[in-house]
Structure 1
Amino acid sequence: MLLAEQALNGLQYGMMLFLMAAGLTLVFGVMGLINLAHGSLYMLGAFACAWVAAATGSFALGLAASLAAAAAAGVLVEVAVIRRLYARDHLEQVLATFALILVFSEGTRWVFGSFPLYLTLPAALSGAVTLPGGLQYPLFRLAIIGVGAAVAVGLWLLIARTRLGIRIRAGEADREMVAALGVDIARLYTLVFALGAALAGLAGALVGTIQSVQVGMGEPVLILAFVVIVIGGIGSIKGALVAALLVGLTDALGKALLPALFARFMEVSAANGIGAALGSMLIYILMAGVLIWRPQGLYGARG
């Protein structure tokens, strides 16, 4: 029962990471841009959802607001700042987008205040359901898994089956040729950035129901999102999904099972400390192993 519960926790965590990493890998793969401000868009989506849901009493309107606010902020940032960085080296991209983190953090604190906000689940998604085997599991966490799966299918259909997806894949392969063929590459980049921002905002809104919504909540998740896209392969949506699930399951199962494993041959207090520390390291050990085995990532193209 413990193993099944932790596996579901890992699956839910992995789907949340996928929502965050999918937009980041699109931007990174298509535009060649290192965007450290992606976590700030995640934070903005969480704040927009919490504020609108509290003002209207509708969680659905809060979700819509998170998508709209993050996408609008993404368009504004891309047009005003990011568009000037495409021809610059990665160091300048890192410095400029790190500055955006500070701007978003202080702007969010100025608008919403320094105190955390809290989201209340709607009655339809609260409580727990009984799964086969008698396991009681929160309904909303299952909903997050479902949303992540739906987004994965939607992104696959977008990239593989639509004209926009063809242009995105072509822009990733050879942006100069795509521009020469008459595609407005600036508009394409704005659409991709807005899509990535909206996915980050959705992830922030969903996670805001599990933890408090506060300034700075996006930076720890951003690090894990970069781990996901490195493991999965830059620019690969399939790789981001597989890597996110691997990271989520590794983190949840490692933190839950390693202390019990070490407790078999050492004191409980020492086992808990060592197990928790090693459990936190497992995802980075996983990343190192993948990079040694496949430097381009699980589904990344060779350079």
Structure 2
Amino acid sequence: MTTILLIEQILNGLQFGVMLFLTAAGLTLVFGVMGLINLAHGSLFMIGAFAAAAVAGATGSFLLASAASIAAAAAAGAVVEIAVIRRLYGRDHLDQVLATFALILIFSEGTRWLFGSSPLFLDVPSWLSGPVTLPGGILYPLYRLVLIAVGLVIAAGLFLLISRTRLGVRIRAGEADREMIAALGVDISKLYTVVFALGAALAGLAGALVGAIQSVQVGMGEPVLILAFVVIVIGGIGSIKGALVGAILVGLTDTLGGVLLPELFRLFMDNAAATATGSALATMLIYILMAVVLILRPTGLYGERA
């Protein structure tokens, strides 16, 4: 493998990681503040992607499509929190899992009813298409570089929101002692709605940004949801910093594993067998990484220790 190819794959892993972060950050906020297991978070990712594809097809504007993905996912999240999730806070996690799994089915069939079963396509805008030349003569797609930059900017914004604003203080207080902040006069129901809508908006934006790279289709959020759970387990539940670090680790591990392992096995077996074996093991790497982290730090890299 050449150095240029290796650098390209590292950038691909970083781009994959920051997109995972956008989904995992909302999931870890919801779980950390509300203590809620939300299996429908991947459906909000899908809603953002479909909203973006529909608006882009009608207007031709990628910026309007991105704004629509945020608005649609946030609105869906707020409605779900008020209509369904609010009734689950006093229930055990099994009830939460069953209810949010039902939401997956409702969102999937509702999306199929509205848009059909055929995939939609969201094109990269012309002003973001094409490659750019990086130091060393590396050609890399401009859109993927923009995705990395957008993800890192949003991560910085979330850090500032959580650490420097009144809303962030309330979110952190709600995570630590929700009964106390309710006794101090904070409307805990409104806070939960805002947190849930914020997490949904992040997932919706991630769906729109990823939708320009792959097709937009029903069920596209479930694989992302699984990876987002891996990310927050590795990073530590409730930690934005942990979500960012965990997402980048998962992105790099998944991308580099898929490239390096087949190359490694080609030293010992023929090309076809090496590709099959390496690809199969590469899909296991992120779960091996999660297992190692849990053995060494059961609460995750940045989770609070008991």
Class of the TM-score when normalised by the shorter of the 2 chains = over 0.9
Residue 61 of structure 2: aligned partner: 58
Shift of 1:2: 1.3
Counterparts of 2:264 and 2:89 in 1: how far apart (Å)?
49
Q: Say whether residues 1:274 and 2:306 are aligned partners.
A: no
Correspondence 1:76-95 to 2 at 5 A: 76-95=79-98
Moved more, 195-204 or 113-122: 113-122
Q: Any idea what SS the aligned residue of 2:303 has?
A: coil
- Please give the TM-score of this superposition, normalised by the length of structure 1: 0.99
Q: Say whether residues 1:177 and 2:180 are aligned partners.
A: yes
Q: Say whether residues 1:248 and 2:246 are aligned partners.
A: no
Counterparts of 2:249 and 2:185 in 1: how far apart (Å)?
40
Residue 10 of structure 2: aligned partner: 7
Shift of 1:121: 1.4
Counterparts of 1:131 and 1:90 in 2: how far apart (Å)?
48
Correspondence 1:113-262 to 2 at 5 A: 113-262=116-265
Residue 44 of structure 1: aligned partner: 47
Shift of 1:242: 0.2
Shift of 1:268: 1.3
Which amino acid letter does the alignment assign opposite residue 55 of structure 1? Answer: A
Counterparts of 2:268 and 2:112 in 1: how far apart (Å)?
48
Map Cα deviations across residues 8-48 of structure 1 (whole Å, 9 max, x no partner): 00000000100010000000100000000000000000000
Q: Count residues in correspondence.
A: 303
Among all aligned residue pairs of Structure 1 and Structure 2, give the percentage whose two residues are the same amino acid.
77
RMSD in angstroms over aligned alpha carbons? 0.5
Counterparts of 2:276 and 2:218 in 1: how far apart (Å)?
29
Give structure 1 stretches of 5+ with no counterpart. none
Runs of 4+ off more than 3 Å? none
Shift of 1:57: 0.8
Q: Say whether residues 1:286 and 2:296 are aligned partners.
A: no
Q: Say whether residues 1:34 and 2:37 are aligned partners.
A: yes
Counterparts of 2:192 and 2:225 in 1: how far apart (Å)?
21
Residue 302 of structure 2: aligned partner: 299
Map Cα deviations across residues 122-163 of structure 1 (whole Å, 9 max, x no partner): 111000101111111111001110110011000000000001
Which amino acid letter does the alignment assign opposite residue 97 of structure 1? Answer: T
- Please give the TM-score of this superposition, normalised by the length of structure 2: 0.98
Counterparts of 1:114 and 1:264 in 2: how far apart (Å)?
43
Moved more, 106-115 or 156-165: 106-115
Q: Note if contact 2:124-2:213 (Cα within 8 Å) is conserved in structure 1.
A: no
Give structure 2 stretches of 5+ with no counterpart. none
Map Cα deviations across residues 243-291 of structure 1 (whole Å, 9 max, x no partner): 0000000011110011011101221111111110111100000000000
Shift of 1:114: 1.2
